[in-house]
Structure formats: C-alpha cells, structure tokens
A and B are shown apart, each in its own frame.
Chain A
Amino acid sequence: MQGLVFDIAHMLAGSLVLVSFMQLYQDRLSALLNMFALHALVLALSVAWQAYVQAAPHLYITALIALVFKAIVIPVVLHRIIVRLGIHREIENVVGVGLTMLAGIGLVALAMVVMLRVTPGADPLAREDLAFALSVVLIGLLMMVTRRNAVSQVIGFMSLENGLVLAATGAKGMPLVVEISVAFSILIAFIVIGIFLFRIRERFDTVDISALDRFRGERR
C-alpha cells in the first residue's frame, strides 16, 4: 500500500510539472487557457489524493476550490474576456520555444538539486513533492518572464500559485492550508482583474489593434 500511495502521489505531482511544460510551448492564448485548466485539474487531483493519504478532510475543500475556481471559473471567464477583446487567436511571439523548454529543463534540474540537498532527513514523499512544487513555481515564473501578453503572464502567475498549493499540501499537518488557498484564490482573482484592466488601458494608449487600425485609417 505504501508503495502505491507514494507512486500515485509522485505521478500526480510529476504530471503537474509535465503540464507546466505543455503550457510553455502553447503560443495561442485559448490553447494556453485550456492547458491551464488541465493544470488546475491535475492539481485538484493531487490535493485530493493527499487528502485521502493523509486522512485530512479539510484538504478535500482545497481540492474542491482548485477544481471549481481554477479549473472551471477562471479559465471560462478568461476565455470570454479574450474572445470579447478579440485576442483569442493571437499568436504570441514566444522567446524561442526550444530555448524556453531548455531553460525549463534546467530549472527542474536546479529545483531537484536544491530540494534534495536541503531536505536530506525529510519524509521521501514530502521531499519529492517539494522538488516538483519548486519546479512548477520556477516554470511559472519563467512563463511570466518570457511572455509579452498580460493574459499569459496572469496564467504564469496562477500556475506558480498552483505550485505553492502543491507544496503546502505535500507537507503533512498544515492546518491553515484551506485559508491560505482561499486567500490566494481571491488574491489571484483581484490580480487577474487588476492587471487586465491596467493592461487594456495601457494598450489603448499604445499598441491596441483597434487603436492601431484607427491610426492607420487616419493616415489613409
């Protein structure tokens, strides 16, 4: 039983990292949003499995929050926003997919080395979990850095936060985890709205497509 528990947790956390990588090479926004929904789904599964393993019912709530908010509500809302803004087909000039992927691999390696070095005495399950979580956090940051679009930066930030939740649930006996996850979700909602509005205003001043069109029309 112990072996199976460990393997499933390992697999779920590993697939979270995998989905993070899949996010890295999506250059269309709608595909990226789908990947993010998948990311949140895998997170929800992972948290639920941790809840089962640790016999901690409050983690089910965290999993539920992850599922409802991050896998369903936020992707749907973002979808509607980008469709309304007409940028759902936009192709982002990502800073070289191959280079980004290589950087991601390097970051995962770095996360492994750091975590395995600093936690020699810890529970192996928690150790692996923390290493994966750090990888997810780093890849999320990498995505924020390499993308130009505000939406993909927000998604990068939220997948970073998914990594944090994974780390928090992987460590046993974290009593405040529910509150933390709720607080983070609300915070992210605010950031989503805030950055979006901010960015849109900035774009209207500078590089918005419709604004550019109008500008061209005037020149003609």
Chain B
Amino acid sequence: MTLIIALNCIAGLLAVTVLAVVIGRASVAAQIVYGASLIGSLILLFAAIGHLLGAADPVSMTLPLGLPWLGTHFRIDTLSSFFLAVVDLGIAAASLYALGYGRHEQAPQRVLPFYPAFLAGMNLVVLADDAFTFLISWEFMSLSSWALVMAHHRVRENVHAGYVYLIMASFGTLTLLLAFGLLAGPDGDYTFAAIRAAHPSAGLVALVLILALIGAGSKAGLVPLHIWLPLAHPAAPSHVSALMSGVMTKVAVYGFVRIVFDLLGEPAWWWGIPVLTIGAASAVMGVLYALMERDLKRIFAYSTIENVGLIFVALGLALSFKAHGMPLAAALALTAGLLHVFNHSLFKSLLFFGAGAVLTATGERNIERLGGLIHRMPQTAFVMLIGCIAVSALPPFNGFVSEWLIFQAILLSPQLPSWGLKFLVPAVGALLALSAALAAACFVRAFGIAFLGRPRTPAAEQAREVDRFSLAAMFACAAFCLIVGVLPGLFIDTLAPVVRSLVGARMPVQIGVEWLSIVPVAESRSSYNGLLVFFFIFMSGSLAAFAIHRLASDKLRRAPAWDCGYPDASPATQYTASSFAQPIRRVFGTLVFRAREQVVMPKPGDPGPARMSVELRDLIWDMLYTPIAGAVMLTAERLNGLQFLSIRQYLSLVFAALVILLLVIASWP
C-alpha cells in the first residue's frame, strides 16, 4: 500500500513536470508547481514514516514499464523508507520555501519544469529494486539537476559549473554501471534480489566496492571527486541548492549503503579502510576549503563535503565493526551515520534557505560585502544562528548528537582485532576532531561576518526581512534541528529496524532511559541528555538576562563606540572574512593550498594605500584534473586522424577489431 501511494505520488510529480512545461510562463505557475510538490512530498513523507514506524515487511512490485522482458522493479524496505523520509522532508521544506522564494525567479520557465522532475528522480532512486531502474533514475536525477544548475545559463561561471557537473555525473554513473554489471554476473540478472542471492568472488566484490565508492562518492562529494559540488550547488537557485546539498548527496549515500551493506553481503576486514580514509580526508579538506571561501553558498557547499566525509567515516566504521563480528558497535556506527544523514539534510537545507534569503534581500553572496544583517533581518539571523550552531556540532542541537555518536563509535575501536584498524581509526578520530573545530570556526566566521558588525555595502544596509513562506520553511527546519537535538532517543529508536536489517543488531533501546538521556553503549561508559543541556542553557541564559536587566540599570542606552581616536570609522575597518581566516590559512593553507601572502607597501611619502593580497591554489585541481584534461585533449588530437579515412580503411578497422575479438575468444582460458 505504501509503495502504491509512493509510486502514485511520483507519477503525480512527473505529471506536474508536464504541466509546468505547458503553463511555465503563467504568473501562477510557480505557486501551482511548488504547491503540488509540497503536497506530493508530504504524502510521500507520511507514507515513508508510516512504513518506518510500523517496521513493516519489505513490499515489492513490478511494473510493466521499461525494458520489455525485464519490467521495472520497485521495493520499499526500512532502509529505503528512511531515506524516502529524509528526501521528502527536505523536499517539503524546499517546496514551502520556494513558494515565497520562487517569486523572485527571473526565468521561471527554466526552473519550474525541471524541479518536480528532479524530485521524482530522487524518489525513484530510493525505491528502485533493479539495477536498470536504479541507474535510469540516478541519471534522471543527475540530468534534471543539471538543467536546474544551468537555469541561469547566461552567467559564465554557471556554464563552467554545468560542464564540470555533467562530466563528473556521467563519470559517476559510468562507475556505478560497471559495478552493477559486475554484480549481475554473466547471467545478467539485474534485479537486486538476484544480486543479493549471488555469491561473487572476493576479487570481484573488492572491485565493486571501489567502483561503488567512486560512483556514489562522486555524487556525494567525497574528496577528490568533489570538484563539481562547490561549483554546481551554488549555481542553482537557492531552494535547489538546498535540495542538491541537503538531499541529493543523501541519495548518493543511500546508493552506497544499498550496494555495500545490502547487495555485497558480508564485508571483508579491509573494506572499512578506504571508506574511512577518504571520509576523513573529505571532512578535513571540505572544512578547510570552506574556511578559505568568501561566497556564502560556496561555504555551505564545502561544508557539505565535510559532512559527507563524516557520514562516510561512520559507514566505514560500521563496515569494519561488522567485518570483525562486532554487531553492536556496527549498529552504533551505522545509527550515527544515518542520524547524521538526517541531521545534515535538516541544517544544510536551513543554511541554504538562509543564504537564499540573504541573496534575495541584498543580491549579494560574498560575505565581505554583507554585515549587520541581524538588525535588518532579525528572524533570518535567528534561524541562521541555529543552523550555524547545529552544523558546528554544538549542543543542544542535532549536529552534536550524531557527531557525538560517531565519536562514541570511534572510542570503541580499540576492541577491533585488526592492528591496521587499531592505528587508523584513532587517526581518523583526530582528523574528525580537527574538522569539527575548524567547522565551528568556519561558521563563526560565516555568521559573524554576514550578520554581525556594521553593513559593509549599501545593499547590506537596505536589506529587508524575507517573505512568510521562506521564514516558515526556515523556522520548521530550525525546530526540527532542536527537536532532534533534545530528544535524540526517539530518532535513534526509529532507526533501529533500518540498522538491524543491515548489520543484524541495533543500539540499546533509548526510549525507556531515565530523563530521556541517550546511552550508546552502557550507562557506565557515556550518556548524553540533550533536554538537560537545553534546559541548562535556557535557564542560565534567561537568568543572566534577567539579572542584567533587573539588577543593573534597565534603561537602554545608545552611545558611540570607542573609536580608537579615529572619528567616523568606515565599515571597511571591521574584521573581514579573510582576516578572520588568516591564522588558519597560515597554519594549514601554506601546506594545503600553497597560500602566498604578499604585502605591497607604498614608498615613504606616497599617500597610496598598502595592499595585501593572498594567492591560493587548488592542488587537487592542479595535480589531478589538469593532467587528466591534458591527456584527454592530447588523445583526442592524436585520434583526430581517424576522422578522415577512406571506406576501405574503415572496413579494415572493423575487420581488424572483429579478428582481434575472435582471437581473444579463441585464446580465452
């Protein structure tokens, strides 16, 4: 029943796509499309939650669509229902936000048709139950999101972003195609049920693991496959950015979990190692990039890379624990990872909504040109503050809970029997701790420069609060962040059937623990009570406010600030984003980005200003992608001669290829 409802909703979304093509230019089109998307996603959300809470048995269904002898298989189990819920919660928030934000769209006919198609694609990926359906939905999702990235195609950067995105998305799909091809084996049965039942050899499975890590990782934004993400996510309209960053990366995580935890069967001891390494590298690199960045949306996009890295670290831990026969620890790590999937989708959507609100109000994405927005957009500033606290993993919000659980899982690593993992996991933990600290610095910087201080430009000075729909969506996300933060036990218990189906165990039941604490392993080890922390912060804050306002003078006085003897200081004398990042740039940037600072002092007597410039280089781009692009261009030039052969020479090529293939068959062992 759930599956039928879900598929009908997806069909409805596709119908809305067609409708949007027809009425795209009408003035009410945006309201209709986003309203319909909101309703559809809410129905899907409730269906998914119903399935998840009921912990119902998997339901599958075959529709006579697609390839005639195969059909299209769909299935909903606890894993897909969890991801369906994450996806559709994000979609519902984004659609609500877009009801207001979409009015400012200059080219609605370029956004409206692809938006519901993108939503349908993401939902279909989660429900697919054979490799064909999965890959087609995956590619559908990629292409429709590419169209949304290219919505403002007159901007030069966007064209570049779309180009890079298209190449990386095709590459990712190619590796997934190869992975499924290997999994299906020589008989070519592409249904997931058949793949699950098959027992491929160890070498093949290792290859599939690497291919899945590359394919899903390139869509999720793992370093070094992340290069498209900070280009493409900010290029799209903000509600789509929120979906791409908050939801589409989660669909990629789903793809990885589905292949590695479900289809591949029992893990080998080393599976966790590549996942852990790449995840930790992504976490640190992502946040370092974010710290160097000045574009608000690109900061959030780089932070997505960091969070995806965290999620993959948790998944790698779960794989390692599962391979070494420690199902309880694996359940803890997997729960932490999945909870972070949910949390990240919430606060990253919230942050992108806020960035969109700032963009609407000021027309600026560069935080060096913002400032003082807390006075002009108090409500947006409030929810953005919540989002920044949550993404910085500070209590009492949700980011803290999942990251704390990941660290609890890392603390269990000394029990692992393998020495390699015994050494690797603490190192990964140290990197995660580093990235968590840097993330806090990054979001203090982003929030502080954009919202605090004095406005740096007239645009920031004249900002106005955004519309009700946008605010409603942001407040809803912020409320969810708080609820998950103070009542995490509820959500951990909801995840139990998902985790049990994948690693064969679950975390201890949290709902019965006194005072609504959560206890990941045992009471004697560690426990966390978000409610208590929240009450403590709330009470001490209110008490302090009360004390200041009642016991001190309650008169509000405004007086000029101490100006260091320079009257009428310009806003440019404030701390800037670059200056805030300078210490971190000096510590890490010289190594990671080859950062060079240059100070040009005017000659004595010259009244001109001194100038300080910073040069950063993206080493991954320089050392990995530039050589690849050069090699491709060189090969293309060499092969160009093949375009100008005679018929006989082409025939000879075909003939030679045929003979070589026959020789291969003849000499195959």
Please list the residues of chain A having a beta carbon within 8 angstroms of any beta carbon in chain B. 107, 110-111, 113-114, 117-118, 138, 141-142, 144-145, 147-148, 153
Contacts and interface: CB of A to CB of B under 8 A. Distances in A.
Contacts of A144: 648, 651, 655
B659 A145 contact: no
A110 B648 contact: no
B531 to A, nearest CB: 69
B652 A110 contact: no
A118 B664 CA distance: 12
B648 A148 contact: yes
B522 interface: no
Contact of A114 (B648, B654, B662): B662
Contact of A145 (B651, B665, B666): B651
9 contacts: A110-B662, A110-B666, A118-B665, A141-B654, A141-B655, A144-B651, A145-B652, A145-B655, A153-B651
B651 A113 contact: no
A102 to B, nearest CB: 14
Given A110-B663, A113-B666, A117-B666, A145 B648 contact: yes
Contact of B665 (A107, A117, A148): A117
Contacts of B658: 138, 141
B660 to A, nearest CB: 11
Nearest to A111: B662
B659 A110 contact: yes
Contacts of A147: 648
Contacts of A110: 659, 662-663, 666
Nearest to A109: B666
Contacts of B662: 110-111, 114
Size range of the interface on B?
10 to 19
Interface in B621-669: 647-648, 651-652, 654-655, 658-659, 662-663, 665-666, 668
A147 B648 CA distance: 8
A145 B648 CA distance: 6
Nearest to B665: A114
Contacts, number: 33
Contacts of B648: 144-145, 147-148, 153
Contacts of B654: 141
Contacts of B666: 110, 113-114, 117
A118 B658 CA distance: 16
Contacts of A141: 651, 654-655, 658
A111 B662 CA distance: 8
Count chain B CB atoms within 10 A of each CB in A113, A114, A117 and give the residue with the most.
Answer: A114
Contacts of A111: 662
A107 B659 contact: yes
A142 B665 contact: no
Given A107-B659, A145-B655, 11 more contacts: A110-B662, A110-B666, A114-B662, A117-B666, A138-B658, A138-B659, A141-B651, A141-B654, A141-B655, A144-B648, A145-B651
A154 to B, nearest CB: 12
Nearest to B656: A145
Contacts of A113: 666
B250 to A, nearest CB: 46
A107 B662 CA distance: 10
Nearest to B663: A110
Interface in B135-165: none
A110 B658 CA distance: 11
A182 B658 CA distance: 26
A40 to B, nearest CB: 22
For B659, B665, B666, which residue has the most chain A Cβ atoms within 10 angstroms? B666
A108 to B, nearest CB: 12
Closest 8 pairs (CB-CB, A-B)? A113-B666, A145-B652, A141-B655, A114-B666, A145-B655, A114-B662, A145-B651, A114-B665
A141 B657 CA distance: 12
A107 B663 CA distance: 10
B652 to A, nearest CB: 5
A58 to B, nearest CB: 26
Nearest to B654: A141
Contacts of B652: 145
Contacts of A145: 648, 651-652, 655
A185 B538 CA distance: 87
A111 B658 CA distance: 11
B146 to A, nearest CB: 40
Nearest to B658: A141
Contacts of B655: 141-142, 144-145
A122 to B, nearest CB: 16
Nearest to B661: A114
A111 B663 CA distance: 9
A117 B665 CA distance: 9
Q: In this complex, which of A138, A141, A145, A153 has the most chain B Cβ atoms within 10 angstroms of its Cβ?
A: A145
A166 to B, nearest CB: 18
A6 B136 CA distance: 49
A111 B668 CA distance: 14
Contacts of B665: 114, 117-118
A117 B667 CA distance: 10
Contacts of B668: 117
Nearest to A112: B666
Contacts of A148: 648
A118 B665 CA distance: 8
Interface in B524-579: none
A117 B668 CA distance: 10
A113 B651 CA distance: 24
Nearest to A148: B648
Interface string B597-615: 0000000000000000000
Contacts of A107: 659
A107 B656 CA distance: 11
Which of B648, B651, B654, B665 has the most CB atoms of chain A within a 10 A radius of its CB? B651
Nearest to B667: A113
